[in-house]
Amino acid sequence: MVKPDAEVIAHVSDPGQIAGEVVAGVLPPHLAKHALAVETPPPLNRATGTELSREEMEEKLRSMGIEPPGTRRYAVLDLEDPAILSELFQARLEVGVYHRGSRAETLLERTLEAVEIPAPLADNFKERFKEVLAEMREMEIPEGSPPLFSNWVRIAELDIEVALGADRPTLEHVARIQIAVDKALWDLREATIAWEIAADQAFPELRQAAIVQEAVRYLEPLDAALRDFYREAGLSAGRKEVELG
């Protein structure tokens, strides 16, 4: 896998030596995070410093059920990097909306679950979303809203409850709330298009427009709270604008 002109480094003394590169070898995490990726053998359960020939390594890998024997590629992400968090958060929203249950969604979910919201920000988050939840339930879902919209709003409310009950909410709690909001607005958009096509007399256009406006207004406090959180947390990821017609 190593190209003929690849640079051979006996010891990495400066992260700049491997920044943005695919590194073949073994690196500790604090250095691996600077590389684009690391290509390395799987854990062999051998003592540190053990040397194996190519034949011995292939035999060991085959005994572990790795056939054909080979290396594995991994990447280390620095979860203290705001840019990384923003990209992960946006990726989680995209995957969560369009590919529910995929392995990528599970990976992103587990990653963001590891990122706890700092205490002062978590306190503000809980206080604000507690108020929003109470406000939403006092208003109630607008009568005549599309069923899928209503279902996703209920899911958003439940996700808020879970976040409020967590000892320390994580970015995954926030992502779940945002995904439910995105889905609710998406389903509202789809229903609006269907109404326009069907032109059902039971739902005159003025009534349909009123339902859409009420439904969007119902989510406005939640949307505002999410945007405030993103701003306070330094995350650029936010709800995608949805054309409602």
- 68 and 92 together in one domain: no
- Identify whether residues 97 and 212 lie together within a single domain: yes
Instruction: Provide the whole-model pTM.
Output: 0.74
Q: Which of 74, 90, 112 is the last residue of a domain?
A: 74
Cα 185 vs. chain centroid, distance in angstroms?
19
Give a yes or no: residue 149 inside a domain. Answer: yes
- Residue 53: which domain range? 15-74
Q: How many angstroms separate the most distant Cα atoms in the chain?
A: 79
pLDDT at 122: 94
Q: Are 185 and 146 in contact (CB under 8 A)?
A: no
Amino acid letter, residue 146: P
CA 8 to chain centre: 36
Structure confidence at residue 229 (pLDDT):
92
Of 44, 74, 104, the last residue of a domain is: 74
- CA–CA dist 129, 27 (Å, integer): 42
Same domain? For 131 and 165 the reply is: yes
- What is the SS3 assignment for 5? coil
Contact 17, 1 (CB under 8 A): no
Whether residue 40 is contained in a domain is answered as yes
Query: Which pLDDT does position 206 carry in this prediction?
Result: 54
Q: Does 64 lie in the same domain as 99?
A: no
Q: SS in 3 state form for 154-201? A: HHHHHHHHHHHHCCCCEHHHHHHHHHHHHHHHHHHHHHHHHHHHHCCC
Q: Do 124 and 67 belong to one domain?
A: no
What's the pLDDT score for residue 167? Answer: 93
* Whole-number Å distance between alpha carbons of 137 and 130: 11
**Each residue's pLDDT tens digit in the chain (245 positions)?**
677 888 999 999 899 999 999 999 889 999 999 999 999 888 888 887 888 888 998 898 899 888 888 888 989 988 888 888 888 888 898 887 777 778 888 889 999 999 999 989 999 999 999 999 999 888 888 887 888 888 999 999 999 999 999 999 999 999 999 999 988 888 888 777 666 655 555 555 556 677 778 888 888 899 999 999 998 888 864 444 444 33
- Token code pair at residue 204: 């005159």
In whole angstroms, how large is the CA radius of gyration of the chain? 25
Whether residue 114 is found in the same domain as residue 224: yes
Whether residue 28 is preceded by a cis peptide bond, meaning omega within 30 degrees of 0, is: no
- Residue-level pLDDT at 197: 59
Number of domains present in the structure of the chain: 2
* Closest residue by Cα to residue 170 from 79, 78, 74: 79
| DSSP assignment string, 46-76 | --TT----HHHHHHHHHHTT-SS---EEE--
pLDDT of residue 127: 96
Q: Which of 239, 237, 245, 210 is nearest to 223 (CA)?
A: 239
Asked if the structure places residue 239 within a domain, the reply is: no
